[in-house]
Amino acid sequence: MTKKQAFHVAVVGATGAVGEQMLKTLENRNFPIGKLTLLSSKRSAGKKLVFKGEEFTIQEATPESFEGVDIALFSAGGSVSLELAPEAAKRGAIVVDNTSAFRMDANTPLVVPEVNEKDLLEHNGIIANPNCSTIQMVVALEPIRQAYGLGRVIVSTYQAVSGAGVTAIEELKTQAQAMLNGETPEANILPVKALDKHYPIAFNAIPQIDKFTDNGFTYEEMKMINETKKIMHMPELEVAATCVRLPVVSGHSESVYIEVEQDGVTVEDLRTLLASAEGVVLQDNPAEQLYPTPLDATGKNEVFVGRIRKDLNNDKGFHLWVVSDNLLKGAAWNSVQIAERLVKLGLV
């Protein structure tokens, strides 16, 4: 059997904030596309998008849309994935799903290529792309785990509105302009559009991302906790998360406290390790005020790490500041990267 040289790729949710970045990333990476099918809900069907100079009309996604598709990148919400990802897989496509629908399913690998590429070998037609805030954290933590062990993680996030979609970006900008004009901002989208209560995000911080679960943590926080354990294959890892939305357009930041298992690890050890870690860019020099910020990380694929400090009370404790573009490594780039690895591993 000769190896395929080009693939039929479908993008589901092509008009969303992540879908747009998926197309840009496929273009930038020159992904070997033989045929491209752009799909969406009924509402967006008929719209036109340009890919590599060629115009494509978006079609409504149905089970039949996936006939002949090799790779289907889903980012159109959990309910669309729940309904159509199995249909796509049934028709022979490998699905890379950016929603939370299958992430904790025991039969679905949850993959960040720098961390657990080998889990791709166990796929059953669907591969889940983790939550944005989880991805960037595990990329920074995996090299540390491998070298020194990892016993504990406490993270507080600083998350951009683009994680909540195009309408949240618009709301931030509209509110910011209103407040600069001295007007009272209107809030209709954040923290969760479907819920009753909305808070302004411009010049504010909202300590709620996604709905609340019964234990008082939000789903976003539980995603970080559960997905981290699954991706790192450490069900026993102690992870805690507090997730906060900021008036930032793109780029999630994370203040991460970790405890390693080995004694005597130094800040220089971690810097040396992370400076050569896959997918990581070390930006850590206090003397030159060098550290990552979300504005600087926007548009880049890597995970940026800085502010590495040893805890003053615990020799095994360290503090890190981890930043990445939530639409790229947190979503579109991680999905396309998975697709690239599927090709490299001969799985598609």
176 binds its own copies (CB under 8 A): yes
- What is the spatial distance between Cα 245 and Cα 268, in angstroms, rounded to a whole number? 32
Minimum distance from residue 208 beta carbon to its own copies (Å) = 6
Q: How many residues bind its own copies (CB under 8 A)?
A: 59
Is residue 292 part of an annotated ligand binding site?
no
Q: How far is the CB of 150 from its own copies (least distance, A)?
A: 13
The torsion defined by the Cα of 219, 224, 230 and 235, in degrees rounded to 10, comes to -90
Residue partners of 117: CB distance under 8 A and separation at least 6: 111, 341, 345
Q: Clarify whether 233 is annotated catalytic.
A: no
**Residue 212 interacts with its own copies (CB under 8 A): yes or no:** yes
279-308 binders of its own copies (CB under 8 A): 286-289, 291-295, 306-308
User: Is 163 labeled as ligand-binding?
Assistant: yes
Find the binder of its own copies among 69, 128, 206, 348 (CB under 8 A). 206
Query: Which residue stretches of 117-235 are H helix?
Result: 132-148, 166-180, 219-231
Closer to its own copies at the Cβ: 33 or 179? 179
Beta bridge partners of 309: 319
SS3 157: strand
- Residue 228 in marked binding region: no
- Residue 54 interacts with its own copies (CB under 8 A): yes or no: no
Which of positions 154-173 make contact with its own copies (CB under 8 A)? 154, 156, 158, 173
At residue 313, the 3 state secondary structure works out as coil
Looking at the DSSP assignment, which residues form a beta bridge with residue 155? 241, 256
Q: Give 167 or 255: the residue with its C-beta nearer to its own copies.
A: 255
Residue 33 touches its own copies, criterion: CB under 8 A? no
Q: In the chain, which ranges are continuous DSSP H helix?
A: 17-28, 78-90, 113-116, 132-148, 166-180, 219-231, 267-275, 294-297, 333-344
Quick note: the x/- pattern for its own copies over 88-127, rule CB under 8 A, is ----------------------------------------
Q: What is the end-to-end Cα distance of the chain in Å, rounded?
A: 12
Q: Is residue 286 classed exposed, middle or buried when 0-12, 13-18 and 19+ CB atoms within 10 A define those classes?
A: exposed
User: Does the footprint of its own copies cover residue 194 (CB under 8 A)?
Assistant: no
Q: Please, are residues 326 and 19 in contact by the beta-carbon 8 Å criterion? A: no
Only segment of 26-34, 120-128, 309-317, 337-345 that touches its own copies (CB under 8 A): 309-317
Answer yes or no whether residue 130 interacts with its own copies by CB under 8 A: no
Instruction: Tell me if 18 is assigned to a ligand binding site.
Output: yes
Site string for its own copies, 260-279 (x = CB under 8 A): -------x------------
User: Token pair of 209, please?
Assistant: 């991302």
252 labelled catalytic: yes
At residue 257, the 3 state secondary structure works out as: strand
Return the sign of the alpha-carbon dihedral for residues 201, 204, 209, 210. negative
Which residue is catalytic, options 8, 123, 243, 252?
252
Distances (CA, A) of 212 to 139, 219, 245, 302: 26, 6, 14, 30
From 132, 198, 233, 319, active-site residue: 132
Residues that bind its own copies (CB under 8 A): 152, 154, 156, 158, 173, 176-177, 180, 191, 195-197, 199-200, 203-208, 212, 215-217, 225, 238-240, 242, 244, 246-249, 253, 255, 257, 267, 286-289, 291-295, 306-314, 317, 319, 321
Residues of the binding site for NADP(+)? 15-18, 43-44, 162-163, 185, 326
Residues of the binding site for phosphate? 103
> Which residue numbers are catalytic?
132, 252
